[in-house]
Amino acid sequence: MILITGGVGLIGSSMAKILCEEGHKIVVAVHRQKEIAPFLEPYRDRDLFIAPLDVTDLDQIERTIKQYGIKSVIHAASVAERRGTLYEAMRVNVIGTINILEASQRNGLTRTTAFSTEAVYQGIKQREPLKEDQLLSVDSDRYIPGTKRAEENLGLLYARKHDLDVVLIRASRIYGPLAVGARSPIRAIAEAAVHGNVCDLSHIDEDEGHDNLYVKDCARGMVMIHTAEKLNHRIYNLGAGKLTTFGEFKNAALSIAPGTDIRLGKNLGDITPTKSPLDINACLDITRIKEELGFKPEYDVHTGMRAYITWIRDKKYS
């Protein structure tokens, strides 16, 4: 039985579906958000079980592990700026991670996989792909980069001191069904293609590029790593391995819904609403997960946008 914290969110829901399809039994932890995605309903109370869980409560985590016979955990619960204060982010992201790690080692779990992010590379301004073993900066200008670095340090320390099987996955920017947040205009572009409304994103630079990964590819990579019988490393980048510009997403949407009025800006400078002063300028180097586990993204910008638009229009998960 696998426990997923943050299991009803963007990544957690897609991981849950893949795990159920592969025949695993899973427990999805819910806290603030109680509803599960409609594409998970066929698995409810059969392969998928729902458990209320506050990751800041160690005793509750241990009770859940014992009640369901949990053997491993994927820890994806986190708080960003839009959902709380810095104190709340520290409490959930840092203390919550400590509790997951402590409960894992107390109860002999076989693997603890923590969902990290490319944001831990903040402050590194190279253009070459970012590698897992390079040194990180200590500076942060958002909640997630700072707290995720702390989570990673805690995970590595538990692995060293308690011989705990801890894996850290640094995912790139994710888009697709259930995506929320204001740091990417991809959702607004997809919605415009569906509804035909004017999408004025003139404050977003069409030439700004990020390592954007469709959610199903991210979830598939997460599952591949978590369920691997043996891993050679503790840290894995998970991304497309290339930069895709917002202009490319706009063009993909227009190829699907010609005539949609999507307006992006140009030559807006290095700092935009979707890119902070410390944010990276490079994609992730995904050589490690490709060579070790055979991971390769299945969705490019066109197939990813088509699948995303299908979800928004028909609620069909593809």
User: How many whole angstroms separate alpha carbon 136 and alpha carbon 120?
Assistant: 7
Q: Are 105 and 58 in contact (CB under 8 A)?
A: no
User: Which fold does the domain 2-172+214-238 belong to in CATH?
Assistant: Rossmann fold (3.40.50)
Whole-number average pLDDT of the chain: 95
User: How many whole angstroms separate alpha carbon 313 and alpha carbon 194?
Assistant: 6
Instruction: Report how far apart, in Å, the C-alpha atoms of 144 and of each of 31, 83, 156, 209 are.
Output: 19, 12, 18, 20
Band (273; pLDDT cuts 50, 70, 90): confident
Top-confidence range, 92-101, 179-188, 259-268 = 92-101
pLDDT at 245: 97
| Predicted confidence (pLDDT) at residue 181 exceeds the cutoff of 80 | no
CATH superfamily of 175-211+242-314: UDP-galactose 4-epimerase, domain 1 (3.90.25.10)
- Average pLDDT rounded to a whole number, residues 87-107: 97
Domain ranges of the chain: 2-172+214-238, 175-211+242-314
* Percent of the chain scoring above 90 in pLDDT: 88
Least confident segment among 42-56, 171-185, 193-207: 171-185
Q: Are 312 and 191 in contact (CB under 8 A)?
A: yes
* Percent of the chain scoring above 70 in pLDDT: 99
Q: Which residue has the higher pLDDT, 85 or 81?
A: 85
**Helical ranges in the chain per DSSP H:** 10-21, 58-68, 86-89, 96-106, 143-162, 186-195, 215-227, 246-256, 287-293, 301-314
| Predicted confidence (pLDDT) at residue 283 exceeds the cutoff of 70 | yes
pLDDT at 142: 92
| Predicted confidence (pLDDT) at residue 153 exceeds the cutoff of 90 | yes
| Predicted confidence (pLDDT) at residue 98 exceeds the cutoff of 80 | yes
The pLDDT tens digits of the residues spanning 29-57 come to 998 777 899 999 999 999 999 999 999 99
pLDDT at 143: 92
pLDDT at 182: 63
